[in-house]
Amino acid sequence: MTILVTGGAGFIGSHVADALLAEGHEVHVLDNLSTGRRWKVPEAAPLFEHDIRSDGAAALVAEHEYDCLVHHAAQMDVRKSVENPGFDADVNIRGLLNLMEVGIDHGLQKVVLASTGGAIYGEPEYTPQDEEHSLRPVSPYGVAKLASEKYLYYYQTQYDVATVALRYANIYGPRQNPHGEAGVVAIFTREMLGGGQPVINGPGEQTRDYVYVGDVVRANLAALTHNGSGVFNVGTGRETSVNELFRMLRAETGTNVDETHGPAKPGEQERSVLGYRKADHELGWAPQVPIEEGLARTVEWFRSRYTAEAT
């Protein structure tokens, strides 16, 4: 297939692009490089530097008539979405529609959307949260991702385009950006290896479901070959508190930094953990990398990169 990976210069998208090329697909990357980096884009995948909302992006879809869109480009900062809901909706909703409106007239057959688990479900009524859990997004980012899922359902029913939304848990692994709001594993690892002092927000008992990026890549490949449409959680069903995560990373990095706590983030979700039974049953996907192994791989990558930067 010919596949367009949006956000393919980013953390997850670049890994997905690598895997699709390895599977023998023709892969193009669309990224405006606002947060993505050129060095993450596979050499065999041409990079087109456009914003997903732009006429240039629409023209690209029309020209190449892609079979499949794997959509990872997004405004992904929850805090920014609260500060500016209009901008969040403009990128995350209008950007998707810009690509879809052209794609449906130019041969698009399938769409895989990077959606969100915790930000859509909100605080759990039960755990692990499955796809039937109440949808109670409390941030504009979560609202926009839910709206994107609904728009894809519209295109599926009206234009017979197969659509799969993958509701991600907290993803970590090599190439994750250690700067900014997202990616506590990357932030902590970078601080520890660089001689800094990581700060845990609040008491640190808030839990998340951490899933390794390699497992997420496998979920994308499974979604592409899935004969149909649907919404699927991509998580491990295992809760890990921030305090536990800190201690595992401290042991893995071999550092002796103090367990330091700062102010809690206002409105931060206390728990999030995603069940993957539906993905296992319908996609044949289940997580394979336990958090201990995934953290070891991640720390090793950051250690090698930090050493390279220092020389």
Nearest to residue 277, comparing CAs of 125, 132, 70, 121? Answer: 132
Nearest to residue 47, comparing CAs of 65, 32, 61? Answer: 32
Residue 281 lies in a domain: no
Question: Could you tell me if 102 and 53 are in contact, meaning their C-beta atoms sit under 8 angstroms apart?
Answer: no
Q: What is the pLDDT of residue 51?
A: 98
Q: What is the pLDDT of residue 221?
A: 98
| CA distances (Å), origin 238, targets 109, 141, 145, 204, 208 | 34, 24, 23, 16, 8
Whether residue 110 is found in the same domain as residue 227: yes
Whether residue 162 is found in the same domain as residue 245: no
As a dihedral over the C-alpha atoms of residue 70, residue 78, residue 178, residue 299, rounded to 10 degrees, the angle is: -70
Nearest to residue 287, comparing CAs of 236, 238, 214? Answer: 236
Whether residue 55 is found in the same domain as residue 158: yes
Residue 46 lies in a domain: yes
* Tally of structural domains, the chain: 2
Cα(65)–Cα(106) distance, rounded to whole angstroms?
5
Nearest to residue 204, comparing CAs of 274, 259, 126? Answer: 259
| CB-CB neighbours of 95 under 10 Å | 24
Cα(204)–Cα(133) distance, rounded to whole angstroms?
25
Q: What is the mean pLDDT of each run of 10 residues along the chain (311 residues)?
A: 97 98 98 96 98 98 98 93 96 98 98 96 95 95 97 98 98 89 88 95 96 98 97 98 98 96 88 97 98 98 77 38
Whether residue 72 is found in the same domain as residue 13: yes
Which CATH number characterizes residue 256's domain?
Answer: 3.90.25.10
Catalytic (active-site) positions: 141
Whether residue 21 is found in the same domain as residue 128: yes
Cα maximum dimension of the chain? 58
- Our measurement of the distance from residue 102's CA atom to the centroid of its chain's CA atoms, rounded to an integer in Å, reads 24
Q: The domain containing residue 195 runs over which residues?
A: 172-208+238-273+289-310
Q: What is the pLDDT of residue 56?
A: 98
Cα(163)–Cα(70) distance, rounded to whole angstroms?
10
Cα(139)–Cα(79) distance, rounded to whole angstroms?
8
Q: What is the pLDDT of residue 268?
A: 82
Residue 224 lies in a domain: yes
